[in-house]
Amino acid sequence: MTILDGKKVSNDIKNEIGAEVEKMKQRGEKVPHLAAIIVGNDGASKTYVNSKVKACERVGFESSLFRMSSTISEIELLDKIEELNQNDDIDGFIVQLPLPPQIDTQKVLNAVDPDKDVDGFHPTNFGKMALDMTTFIPATPFGILELLERYDIPTKGKHTVVIGRSYIVGRPMSILMGRSGFPGNSTVTLTHEFTKNITQITSQADIIIIAVGIPDFLKGEMIKDDAVIIDVGITRVPDDNAEKGYIIKGDVDFENVSKRASFITPVPGGVGPMTVSMLLKNTLLARERHRVRNSEKQL
């Protein structure tokens, strides 16, 4: 059994991006600029956004963080998004989810300029991804593809089972694993909480990608020997014996599943670190697109 070490691969990617930014500086080019909007005081969101800011510092990006009150109106938030859309200095930005109940999340995501949508959530980018066109791939699925590629895990002709159908992970993953090329060319089954006889399906899978947010959902008896397991779940589970009062668990019963798997991602340290690195990679792609477009305008 091989651990898919997202922490190590993430560091490799950051080093590669940092080297690219250094070359940009030497050529006298503008370095990438990533911005984030965070609404309210959600602890997990704060931690995640802070990790993005630190990652930007490490690779030499500029970064901006806009903190908004949890009582902000939808109109005010949309005005802020439009301001960032019009700001030529910002190459890409994200609106950290979840948003408070008074705000329509889909309306907010639709308001982001697709050329700056480095999260890959805008319908234009999602549609392009589904059509196998060049676009921003959502950061978590992009990170999973990168792990499969860097560990050279065969996907052609394999049966991939995706558990969970969110537009952030499950749905894009089901499209990407079935696309032409590598990683891809697999036969995909998309399952969710209402799927009947799910063990019958998972026990036939060569690759399982799970993102349901239910700790220990995937048990050892639900997989076949030598399956590849990608665990996207991350849940704080109360534990009086833990220093912080909780432990972090994935969607996979790691102890038992790892005994049968050929490759598996740990939680934490698997898919999580990859998400931030691929967000940086999308921002680098956005900067390059904007540079090309600006040079074409000057011709």
Residues with catalytic function: 52, 96, 119
DSSP structure string for the chain: -EE--HHHHHHHHHHHHHHHHHHHHHTTPPPPEEEEEEES--HHHHHHHHHHHHHHHHHT-EEEEEEE-TT--HHHHHHHHHHHHH-TT--EEEEPSPPPTTS-HHHHHHHS-TTTBTT--SHHHHHHHHTT-S-PPPHHHHHHHHHHHHTT---TT-EEEEE---TTTHHHHHHHHHSSSSS---EEEEE-TT-TTHHHHHTT-SEEEE----TT-B-GGGS-TT-EEEE---EEEE-TTSTTSEEEE-SB-HHHHTTT-SEE--SSSSHHHHHHHHHHHHHHHHHHHHHHHHHHHH-
Peptide bond into 98 cis (omega under 30): yes
258 is in an annotated binding site: no
The reply, when asked if residue 164 is annotated as ligand binding, is: yes
Token pair 């779940």 is at which residue?
Answer: 233
For residue 180, say whether it is annotated as part of any ligand binding site. no
Q: How far apart are CA 41 and CA 102, in angstroms?
A: 15
- Cα–Cα distances (Å) from 122 to 101, 119, 125, 232, 274, in that order, read 20, 8, 5, 21, 21
Does the annotation place 90 within a ligand binding site? no
Please enumerate, by residue number, every residue annotated as part of a binding site. Answer: 164-166, 234
Residues at the annotated binding site for NADP(+)? 164-166, 234
